Amino acid sequence: MASVVGRTSKRFLRSAKLWRHGAPSPASLLMPRRPAVTTSTGAVLPKPGTVPFGILRISIAVLPFLYLGTLMSQRFAAFLEDYDIFLPSYDDD
């Protein structure tokens, strides 16, 4: 189906003299490209370098905030229980 549409549009553009020979086709201009992976000519870029101690850096960034989130949620749950806003016994309905 897509090839039929492509051929029909190419035929229309040629007949309307909108597409010159040797110029890039309008269909190729609409093709999705991945500039992070390929160059403008279509060559594949070399493999990116790895970051040393990547997992350690992620752990150092994530774990403290995960711990702080845990402490905050525990304190907020205790606050809700102290002021009888929410009690676990209410879930037994």
Q: Which pLDDT score, from 0 to 100, does residue 14 have?
A: 64
- Within 13 A of 59's CA, how many CA atoms are on the CB side? 4
Domain boundaries, the chain: 1-49, 54-92
Between 43 and 6, where is the model more confident? 43
Mean pLDDT of 18-37: 64
* Amino acid in the structure at residue 61: A
The pLDDT of 52-67, averaged and rounded, is: 94
Cα-based distances in Å from 56 to 4, 27, 33, 48: 53, 46, 34, 19
pLDDT-derived band at 30 (thresholds 50, 70, 90) equals: low
Phi, psi (deg, nearest 5) at residue 40: -65, -25
Amino acid, single-letter form, for residue 10: K
Q: What is the mean pLDDT of residues 18-35?
A: 62
Q: What pLDDT is stored for residue 12 in this prediction?
A: 67
Angle at 31 between CA 30 and CA 36, to 5 degrees: 120
87 pLDDT higher than 70: yes
Q: Phi and psi of 44, rounded to 5°?
A: -80, 130
* Distance separating alpha carbons of residues 79 and 9, to the nearest angstrom: 67
Residue 78: per-residue pLDDT: 94
